[in-house]
Amino acid sequence: MTYHNAINPSVQAEGAVYFLFGATGDLARRKLFPALFSLYKEGKLSENFAVIGLARRPRTNEQFRNDLYQSISEFCRYKVDDEQLFQSFSKHFEYMSLDINNLDGFKELNRLAESLESRFDITGNRLFYLALAPSLFGSVSLNLRDGGLLHTDGWHRLVIEKPFGYDLQSAQALNEQLNEVFKEEEIYRIDHYLGKEMVQNIQVIRFANALFEPLWNKDHIANVQITLSETVGVEDRGGYYDKSGALRDMGQNHMLQMLTMIAMEPPSRLHGEAIRDEKVKVLRSLRSYENSEEVRKHVTRGQYTAGQVEQTSLPGYREEPSVNPDSITETYFAAKVFVDNFRWAGVPFYIRTGKRMPVKTTEVVVEFKSMPQNVLFAKKQDLAPNLLVIRVNPIEGIYIKVNAKTPGSDSAIQPVAMEFCQSCQIGLNTPEAYERLIYDAARGDATYFTRWDEVAQAWKFVDRIASAWQESSHDLMHYPAGSWGPERAEQLLKDDGFHWWPVNGQEEDNVIWVTNSGQ
Ligand SMILES: NC(=O)C1=CN([C@@H]2O[C@H](COP(=O)(O)OP(=O)(O)OC[C@H]3O[C@@H](n4cnc5c(N)ncnc54)[C@H](OP(=O)(O)O)[C@@H]3O)[C@@H](O)[C@H]2O)C=CC1
Ligand SMILES: O=C1O[C@H](COP(=O)(O)O)[C@@H](O)[C@H](O)[C@H]1O
């Protein structure tokens, strides 16, 4: 079963020129070059492709290909052990120094693209990847049009990075700018979490298992917990992050997108648009907090102070060199969210994300409602609820927690966690999110990119919280680096009789593990 646009997953992407704006930047180096190399190595790129790296600083083609080599050696999941393979890959790469405000430069770029199209037998398909600050997106698209780069017979696609705006209003303005040049179906808005193996697997786990789907509703599910914790701090990204904060950086996009994957209805057809239609319905059903008091009741925010992670002493957020020393930006938030539809009425979705947490992990815990107390269990032992845990990162896999008789005892009951650890499989080398997403964009499959109406709905929800926070910062809590965030975030669940389940293998002592991980 596939949820792609009926595209054969084994096909090669059509020939195209990839215009990589921001080719000297961090994203290109750490993610995009390695992703292109993996696709090439796996035969997913045909020989009819060319990549033009674009940025202001001067680089010869030789220097650029050297950068490419360094980046792949350091960050790619495949080793560059075959020199001949790298040579045949890198000959598709050229570099041009271009300031995106220089229209004449775009005309020259068009000439370079035409010559590469003729050299590599490419029929006019052009993919423009903007690994640039979002403030440059509008100018680039206008100059692509005015520089004549869209006058070819093939398709034209624009891939853009996050963040898509700062709030609904700025996102709308950006979208209007892009729409002057590109149609919605030509715009591919990246949310790299949608390219992650286990995020895509959520649909299969849900819709391909009779064990789960019939129970996937308010009658059987007590709550859902989504955790995206990071050990890293803000480091040198303060210029961006201090204006953004955790809510905009992770909440508006990755967290709400994961929530939609958990909460959406089955799509009516196996088609990308049908899936995106269902996701946007979830976003429309999010209960908007009525006033600032409601926001404060349901959402907790925090900022890290100095502390320790893995025995290393770390500075507080305000001591980071790239951050304003009086900053009130949140590096953590946790929220209780409701999806007001028939399926989910009354079920809390608890979401949390933070920097400088004790572990790096992305996990979804689905907690099922408890069984009624049963006379069979004479000792009146509390039964642990069943859990389905979807592990997205760093371990990829799932486990379910059930109750079973403690071996050898008369009636004692013990939780048993049965795990399928996908990333522990020997020889399994899961594709990186960016590989899937570049490959999908090259094949015209926008399923795992965010559509404008999804982005707009997500901003509506987030703007309500952000505007309440703007009124006063007295609810900003502090937490030491290396902790799980403010105590108030625990209370959010305690008030409802729940608690955050331990993540990332930090399970309770009394659980029996049955796992394929070999541990
Ligand atoms: N880095 C990451 O892990 C992630 C990044 N992103 C997003 O990706 C985008 C790029 O991020 P990142 O690579 O980290 O940023 P960097 O600051 O590392 O790179 C920015 C790039 O833009 C180029 N550039 C800047 N101004 C111009 C201009 N006027 N004309 C032409 N090129 C220009 C720079 O090159 P030069 O100075 O030579 O012109 C450089 O190549 C951002 O939107 C970011 O939010 C999203 C998720 C993760
Ligand atoms: O988009 C972003 O994501 C990263 C975390 O991504 P992951 O794939 O490593 O989980 C986060 O560090 C960054 O602040 C944010 O902009």
Best of 96, 129, 130, 132 to mutate for ligand 1, by most ligand atoms within 8 A of CB? 132
Q: Is 25 annotated as a binding residue?
A: yes
Residues 6+ apart with CB under 8 A from 494: none
Q: What is the ipTM of this complex?
A: 0.98
**Phi and psi (nearest 5°) for 454?**
-65, -45
CA 319 to ligand 2 center in whole angstroms: 21
* Distance, CA of 433 to CA of 302 (rounded, Å): 29
Residues 6+ apart with CB under 8 A from 400: 386, 387, 388, 389, 417, 418
289 HSE (CA, 13 A, CB side): 21
Residues 6+ apart with CB under 8 A from 491: none
Q: Is 154 annotated as a binding residue?
A: no
List all residues whose CB is within 6 A of at least one atom of ligand 2: 230, 249-250, 362, 393
Banded model confidence at residue 410, pLDDT cuts 50, 70, 90: confident
pLDDT of residue 4: 35
Q: What tens digit of pLDDT does each residue of 462-510 get?
A: 999 999 999 999 999 999 999 999 999 999 999 999 999 998 766 667 8
Cα maximum dimension of the chain? 83
pLDDT of residue 3: 33
Mean pLDDT value across the chain: 93
Assign a CATH topology to domain 194-515: Dihydrodipicolinate Reductase; domain 2 (3.30.360)
CA 359 to ligand 2 center in whole angstroms: 14
Assign a CATH topology to domain 9-161: Rossmann fold (3.40.50)
User: Which positions are catalytic?
Assistant: 254
CB 335 within 8 A of CB 464: no
pLDDT of residue 376: 60
**Ligand 1 contact, 99 CB (< 6 A):** yes
Domain with CATH 3.30.360.10 in the chain: 194-515
Predicted structure pTM score: 0.94
Domain with CATH 3.40.50.720 in the chain: 9-161
